[in-house]
Structure 1
């Protein structure tokens, strides 16, 4: 059943499942069939039993199926997370299954590295071009002095470039280059020679087009296959796909590729705790096999390899970035609607809203970490 078959919320059945959901929501400020924009409008009577049975996977899938609606999913998620429903929203079987999978299998091995590229980043450049700003940055903007999404993304790119102290002619490696945002910025504005790698065919095609005529090489390659020596290395929004079993390999690779007097900037979403887990819905529909690192994960993996020079958190800026993407997505969906379906539209709206709410609740973070090999003298990180 889809939302098209109903004109408004259904009369709530007086069931045990409904009463349990109401008890969970009590005190969160989120109500069932309420009048606030963050209230859940129930459109299917089996909504309650489904989310109790399937947790966050059921919540997300039932939204995609049109079983419920909410005008402000971001505010709904923010309120639920601040109320402490984050862990309770995951079923025990979901958590156990992911821990078993992550414990026994390398979900981010080289043979599996391209899964997320095919599942998400290759979905369609036409969609991402309308959702993102002209830089095609698909990571957190830096809103310290920015008023628009484009200004925030240019500021983020420049912040990373200034932290790297890029000089003309330097060889720069961009691990997880996406659609070529940083590669183009570093080459055009700083005169760098950039090698960018991605595991997405669609990203590689567009990145090469965007960087045509610049000293930029875009490779469809896994970071573990790289060779060479680079003056500077940057990785923006890619470490989330590395996986805890590969953190040491990742830092070993960076260490081997970075010049002795080089600098490395790691830009990644981060978790507040070190538990190996992933949201089942995000894992299935958005970023397969992804996992958020903690401070402990990053520190342990880099210790003995690189020297941490600076650590900055601007996770609150991701809330504003995601809301800007959501605004673009809604405004331009009609331009690409014929290429997708309603379920894809609802998937993206849920994804963007829930993630914005999570950053607003400070449930997850965004870090930029600067590393060296122990270069001489003082390092002052730009802000």
Structure 2
């Protein structure tokens, strides 16, 4: 069994990380291979190596079952009294890895008792370590997803981890855990990763030059998810894209999809979305959207009456919000009219066209009833004199 001083010497001697990892794995195997505490029990069943190995395996399986059937239920009963459900899920996720860890350790320990050939045993140890790494990798991925989901659920509006950025951080955490797991699996089989890492770096540079547009979209997608200028369900207007206006239906790593009012889906690369001026009509303190009804009246009209009629139309409309309150503004003295504007709010930008149509119709009918004239541009042509040769 290796001592703690040997561990310190390995790290202080300036050896590469790969050598330290290999030595650490070998020391772990050596610790597993010496079940001194079990020798008195094993001696009761004879000295045949295969019998000893089977007994050791049986003991570890029984220990794993004790942990699964007795220890874990007790821990779960304790965590059930806490105010959060996270610890309950962690205990649930921990049950399978713990059982298989003890069972696989039993396989390695029993192989040392059976006198198996060293090369076969080394392969078995590498295989067992690889399986253990995969088991705990899956456990780490599930725990990271659980913790990030809980953090996004409790996040404040400006928090880094929130529902909009949750898929980004979940994927980053999963990829990081998988990369480390693959690295340690290669180390368990004593594969030198230096050449692989160098090849991956050269390949990454080549792929970066060949797919720069795709990478630009990918990076822009990451920044959009992190910055969250808009979210799914928002109505946005892309000023640099021909005035495209639509509802955001999907935010991906490569592109963003908008559903226009014509029920046409438009897919826009994230590099364009990231470099364009995007007007989020659903942004701000609330989702409500203000619409403007512009109308002109004759110069002989009573402006107070016009205000009252416009406010009455807004109050009688069922689609106009009570809060914020509607208002009327006298905007300008036009060429042939007094220009007014009715400002009112609707619950969603999607209702803009429908409500504007209803308000325009109501304003026109009320003006006819109230005798308020809506002027229109006209020209009078005066002929000063007829030409002498006119017929």
Could you tell me the TM-score, scaled by structure 2's length? 0.20
Q: Which has the larger radius of gyration?
A: 2
Higher relative contact order (CA 8 A, sep 6+): 1
